[in-house]
Amino acid sequence: MLEEVILGGTCLHRGCIPAKAFLKSADVYDEVKRAAEFGVDIGGEVTFNYDTALQRSLKIVEGQYKGLLYLFEKKHKIPVFMGRGMLLDANTVGVTPNDGSSPLSLRAKNIIINTGSRPRPIKDVSYDGLRVINSDHAVVLETLPASFIVRGGGATGVEWASTYHRYGSKTTIVGNIVPMEDHEVAQQLTRSFQRQKMDVVVGARPTAADIDVGKKGVTMRLKDAKDKESVVKAECLLVAVGRQGNIEDIGLETVGINTKEDIIPADDMQRTNVQNIYAIGDVNGKQMLAHTAMHHGIIAVEHIMGLNPFPLNEEMNSPTCTYCEPEIGSIGLSEKTAQERGHNVKIGKFPMKPNAKATIEGHTDGFAKVVADADTKDLLGIHIIGPHATELIAGGAVARLLDSTPEELVIAVHPHPTISEVIGEAAHDWLGHAIHI
């Protein structure tokens, strides 16, 4: 194993885990402020301590990291070489060690490239870690600015906007909200953010010419989807306009590995065009999610071992999760994409509001949506926005993998009272007979 920075990569140290720890702090703060609704009276003012949230996040990351080290060093005894690697030929990786010791070479019959990705900047706007930051900076930001502009409405952007807004910072999110999700999910999240009194500027695409960075903050000139012009100022700009693969200076050209823009294309077994070299995770560009990367790793290793692994259809069978408030969980095709693919699309929907458990928990924003082909009854997609959506979508993943139909979702018993009932109710609605609405 060769690692340049630290075992665990982006997800553990700079992405999924610390970001979700921050989001949990926001959730708890929300709940405590609403405690009186549940019969819990708290004397005095409820305040938020950012440093405590930061330290808790760092402690969680450290605990997970220690567990990973145990698996490598103690349980499986996997040798790890810390340093920068470069392909010297199809069977050799040259290593420049981090500790300044002499370079060395590692030889192997097969090589797996898992160099990941990094935050993409706005062209000609440099990160300084203070006024202009990305998600890497956000997880270790020592003090909480009073105001943020979050540029980008994808998963990273909406998660950090949801975090900072609920922490009490004045937050403006700029861009189309979750554009890769089903259009009704995107509309719902936009409305939810607006109801939370977050400033949302949809459709704006500011460039470096529209952004001024000074010692005290950032000014951004905007034109929204309706051509309405405005100016937004904040202490900090968080850029969340996507990620780019780490493919530079690792010897791809030496070995003749094909690239496309900033990714390394790979087949269903995660092989590059050089058959004994594999590319997994973000760097192959298929789906930039940690669980997908882990699955890619399993497929690649099993293929190397001659085990004939089942390929992963990322678009149809790998769920996406967004941990803002309200949460989003989805799998498969959106309604519009299914229509574009030529399906005779029929949908079923059920709102969170009538669901007893959602009402009990005090989170009734959202719905579940089933997308299926009216002729074949093939289940094409499930989309959930609302409480625990990121947990519920695992059931949708099983349903998609097993080629379930809406009828089978109805036959399956969803326990009461649980939020999972909205999936069964949406399937009932697809069949024309929703039960509780």
Q: Which residues are catalytic?
A: 416
Q: Which residue has the tokens 């402020």?
A: 33
Instruction: Give the 3-state DSSP-derived string for 294-358, with helices as H, strands as E and coil as C.
Output: HHHHHHHHHHHCCCCCCCCCHHHHCCEEECCCCCEEEEECCHHHHHHCCCCEEEEEEECCCCHHH
Distance CA 53, CA 211 (A): 30
Phi, then psi, of 382 in degrees rounded to 5 = -130, 135
Q: How big is the CA angle at 16 (ends 11 and 17), to the nearest 5 degrees?
A: 95
Tallying the residues shown for the chain, one arrives at: 437
Q: Confirm if 377 and 407 have CB atoms less than 8 A apart.
A: yes
Distance from CA of residue 308 to its chain's centroid? 29
**Could you tell me which residues come within 8 angstroms of residue 172 by beta carbon, excluding any fewer than 6 positions away?**
148, 149, 150, 198, 199, 200, 201, 232, 234
